[in-house]
Structure 1
């Protein structure tokens, strides 16, 4: 699944508190602008999230994501550091430049990017 791309500054700001150029809320990839819609690296990053969401049957993904964020936020007291510590984000950032990654991605690949406390 590639995700349905929607250009919406409102929803991107709403879901990311104005911090992100794109946000994935399955099955949609909300991008802030038309320029962001053409960014292959950014879309690859968000499509990695689409795969993660599907593997965890949608709702558990968002719960797991929120719990990891909360855990790391309480640990570091830093929003950016907590966000960058989330296993889903670590996988997406590690492979966003590799446009062939999704074709060979292993099931539950984000687990290999899990940061132990």
Structure 2
């Protein structure tokens, strides 16, 4: 879990998991772009809207725009270097 400026991991061995670290670093960047507090507000509101639509926690979580960007790019080690400002906006779409 990423909470600027920290990344919290369940176990120490996850420090070596490049995918998880990259995923959480994407969230750190998103949080910075939105000046932290608005990130959490938008995250929650997007989750709530998704939950109302899907009525399923997993689908609601996976379709949060911030998670969609992170999951789509967490296997790309150089993603943050070439990522444009507020790229998460591109993950809003009609369902």
| Same fold by TM-score greater than 0.5 | yes
Q: Deviations over 1:10-33 (max 9, x none)?
A: xxxxxxxxxxxxx11111100011
2:31 paired with 1:53 = yes
1:27-66 residue pairs with structure 2 within 5 A?
27-66=5-44
2:94 is aligned with 1:116: yes
Aligned length: 95
Q: Could you tell me the TM-score, scaled by structure 2's length?
A: 0.97
Residue 96 of structure 1 pairs with residue 74 of structure 2: yes
Shift of the alpha carbon at 1:71? 0.5
**What TM-score, normalized to structure 1?**
0.79
Counterparts of 1:38 and 1:81, CA distance in 2: 28
> Where has structure 1 moved over 2 Å in runs of 4 or more?
none
Residue 114 of structure 1, CA deviation: 1.3
Unmatched tracts of structure 2, length 5 or more: none
Structure holding more helix per residue: 2
Higher strand share: 1
SS of 2:7's partner is: strand
Unaligned runs of 5+ in 1: 1-22
Higher relative contact order (CA 8 A, sep 6+): 2
